[in-house]
A and B are shown apart, each in its own frame.
Chain A
Amino acid sequence: MFKKKTHTAFNEAQQIELAQKDHRHFGPLYERYFEQMFRFIFKRLGGNEEVAGDLVQQCFMKAMANITKYEDRGLPFSAWLYRIAQNEVNMFFRSEKKNYTVEISDRQLYSILEENGEGSVRQEDLDQLIEIINNLDETQTDLIELRFFQELSFKEIADIYQISEANAKMRIYRLLEKINTNWKRES
């Protein structure tokens, strides 16, 4: 008697297209990516829940406002969102008058040293490594953070910066070489 209501499953491209026409259709995209973006921002802030909540809302607000400008260039939609989130977090860090401290565990630092081929490391070496990272410029610190502290793949980093995977690898390995040189100079 009653016709069974059929639900049309929209794929991501269709959802983006709908959201570009009317912002109220942004909901499914928000549902799909909220957790991912919150985790990313939360970790970048070293676990500051309240600020992460504000920044994630800010990030999605910007995404909604600019979705009409979004063009599918073969990169995942999440890369575009990551880029917005990355900018939001960096703007927050810049706006902080005092230094904003992000805690990094020894395990995360060891992963940098492992990549650099360092076997046995003393505690002082880790302090020295942190100092070297803190003296890098913002873009370089971001790359180190994304790769070793956020544990993103080269592909994900490449998508965020809209560069090739090979280029992302090259940038990070050059950066590791720089860290290594500074480390050897200081020790």
Chain B
Amino acid sequence: MYKYDQYDQSIVDARVEEFRDQVKRRLAGQITEDQFKPLRLMNGLYLQLHAYMLRVAVPYGTLDGAQMRMLGHIARKYDRGYGHFTTRQNIQYNWIKLSEAPDILAELATVEMHAIQTSGNCIRNISSDQFAGAAADEVADPRVWAELLRQWSTFHPEFSYLPRKFKIAVIAADEDRAAMRLHDIGIQLIERDGVLGGRIFVGGGMGRTPMIAPEIKDFVTADDLLSYVEACLRVYNRYGRRDNIYKARIKILIHELGADEYRRQVEEEFVAVKALGLDPPKAEFDRITKMFAPPAFAAVGPQADTAPNPVFDAWRAQNTVAHKQPGYAIVTISLKPTGGIPGDATADQIDVMADLAERFSSNELRVTHAQNIVLPHVAVSDLHHVWSALDAAGLAPANVDLISDIIACPGLDYCSLANARSIPVAQKIATRFADPERQRDLGELKLKISGCINACGHHHAGHIGILGVDKKGTENYQLLLGGSGAEDTSLARITGPGFSEDGIVDAVETVTNVYLEKREAGERFLDTYRRLGMDPFKEALYG
């Protein structure tokens, strides 16, 4: 994985001192809250329902054991003993003091971490495939391009006051494990005639007006990438709407101009920008690529002779997938215990995961956009040991991609933007479907809950989506069906009138029963819905 050199480190260290100075000036009254707010947002610090919330960046979801331990340390020393992993592969702390934020950033900087641009109207954390570097189906490691983009976007002088936030995702396989088409810019690495390049999609997003990004450029090579993305951003910075916060994302600009006109403007800008020599030389690309070289895989040892264990077997079947290296596996650690808070981990659990990464996963972990953690390089012969340690720490629910592997935003329990609580709904649904056999029978079922229209829970991309709304001062929940954030990207559709908190749990059960009743061989819930359409589900819900 990427390691800082003295330049990277000096930039992060200077940022810490800059923010320390800005906080000092704010506390002394030399700048107003209105002037300070964008500055603290660009350091990931929100003023939330209970306290300040700090969002620490995990670049493209990748971190090592020492960094993970630091996240646990921050939770213990500055927060209340836990952290929340997010749908953008970052981590959030909910109980931060402004006065301590500079010290937190200083500690993070000692392990090459920061909270730069995790909020604000700027380019956010570049996200990627949580299986990068381990999956057999990737054409190259997408994180090399993600790292190039991270550096290019950090403190970009022209693009720090955009009309709105800007999110970029990079993948490198046909299977989309990062919801790439639902980003402002999505890049899929492909090979054409032996040359590596990216397909560029621009204008995706969720929120109030979900849209799937159209393809704007079919092939860009690494040596044109930054100039091309620069051109895309410049057109947005100049022409994105600034009159209405709900119409300010690039998806609205592309929708209003049309993809063809946007493309034309970008191509025109690209010609001008390319001549400026903004693109780093191939030597820089190669330098970064070397850092993402696969770990030295040990020769596969003999399988340990362990007693048959159906609990371990179930976990292994559900939570691990084959690695491109024979004898290895990719492990997903589920942070979704039944009745727990999706995506939360205690400082102790964080330490357990750090330890396992160091001992069993070439010292590497990933954060997934489904709010789980991945150990990317585990020898099959170590799986039982890893599982035992996870199980002892409450980190082994065998439910990845099943109905209880819920994505849920923090909702009204934590977030000042929310209209309704999302976590209790997630807990009730997971409890209703607690029986592991029942979950396995239902199969792959991606259920996503957002507590407001900002859609941080990605409900538009849920096979089953739930949106919390404020109905005359009472919490109410809309049910949506048929969304997908994978390569078969689709936006979920609302079923009809909303439900109470208990009603939505029953509604979820109702639609899963329709699926069980009507499914054909091999169909997931999503497939049955796509085959039959909304009618049978609507009929069962509303009569």
Do A and B interact? no
